[in-house]
Amino acid sequence: MDVTTPATAPWLIVGLGNPGPEYAGNRHNVGFMVADLLAERVGGRFKRAGKAQAQVVEGRFGPPGPASRRVVLVKPMSFMNLSGGPVNALRDFYKVPVVNVVAIHDELDIDYGVLRLKLGGGDNGHNGLKSMTKAFGAEYHRVRFGIGRPPGRMQVADFVLKDFSSGERKELDFFVDRAADAVEALVAEGLERAQSTYNS
C-alpha cells in the first residue's frame, strides 16, 4: 500500500514550454524560464529523466533540516500539447499526489507580469494544462504568469509563440524571479499565504 501523503511526498514543479532553441524566448515558454531559475537556486542542472520525455532536477526548497521540502523540477520535452504524459509518468515514479503538482504557465487573461496562484480549475484554452488535466485530473496547483492579450487582430497562437517584446524584456528577469519566489512560497508556506503575498 502506498502510504505517501501530501505532507511527506515530494512536490513536482512543472515548468510548461516547448523544447528547442527556436522557442526559448517565446511567451509560451515562461514556465521553462521560471523552472530554469529554480534549478539554479537549488544548485542543479536539468538532465534527461530515464525513459520519460522530460528533463528533471531534484532538490530541496527551504533551509536544511526537517522543514525543507523535497522537490522535483520538470520540463516536459514533448511539446506543450502533450505535456500530460511525461508529467504523469514522473508523478507515478516519484509517488506524487496530484495536489503536490504545480504547473507554471503563461496566462493570456492576466496583465503582463502579474501572478495568480490557485488550486484546480479549468484550462482556459491552454494546451499544456488541457493535457495535464486529461492525464490526471484538475486538482493541481497553478502559478499563472500573466502575458496579456495579443494586440489588434493578432491570433493567440502567433502571440504566444512570439518572443517577449523589447519593452517586456526589460522587466522579464524581475517577473521571472518573482514567479520563482511564489513557487517556493507555495511549497513552503501553503497556498493561502502565498496567494496573500503574490496574487497582486
Residue type, 192: E
Report H helices in 20-126.
30-42, 84-94
Residue 72 grid cell: 522535483
Among candidate residues 28, 105, 126, 141, the one labeled active-site is: 28
Q: How far is CA 184 from the centre of its chain?
A: 12
Residue 186 grid cell: 507555495
126 is annotated as an active-site residue:
no
Beta-carbon neighbour count of residue 79 at 10 Å?
16
Q: Which residues are catalytic?
A: 28
